[in-house]
Amino acid sequence: MKRGSHAAIRALLAAAAGFALAAYVSLAAGQGATVTPRKGDDFRAVYADTQDVAEGKAVAQGSCAACHGLLGQSSIPGIPHIAGQRAAYFYLELNAYKAGKRSNEAMTRAVKFLSDQALVQVSAYYASLEPARPAPLRGAVSRQSPSTGTTFSARLSRRFSTR
């Protein structure tokens, strides 16, 4: 291609990007800044505010912490970590336990008397937490260099460290 055609292509791309940006800004300006969920909306936990999260922590203390931990990281074998679980998914699952669509006696007892708003709040609370780190694999071997006795990550770290 000739030098002049590159300039024409660049100008055309710049104009297209400008039009796209202008269209996006005009569409975004027409939308409201907040979303107000309707009653019965399964995604209400996604829209929860900081007060809902704080009230969800209180619900978690009374109904969930004994098994799942207040920080959502269970120390009991067979009890899942729930910290960082997506709010909408968690809310739907809690509703399934409450409605008897999922069967686990302990979970059904835990959510049976909670209001729908409490389920939204506890879902938002656990979603706001940092997920648990995965446990190290059993029998995982640190790969050390036979010649230096150091791990690959240690050698890499030294190589790229600033001195």
Neighbour-count burial for 17-49, b at 16+ CB within 10 Å, e otherwise: eeeeeeeeeeeeeeeeeeeeeeeeeeebbbbbe
CATH architecture of 48-127: Orthogonal Bundle (1.10)
Pair of tokens at residue 117: 């708003």
Digit-by-digit pLDDT tens for the chain (163 residues) are 555 666 777 766 666 666 665 555 555 555 444 445 555 567 778 888 999 999 999 999 999 999 999 999 998 999 999 999 999 999 999 999 999 999 999 999 999 999 999 999 999 999 999 998 877 777 655 555 555 555 665 655 666 655 5
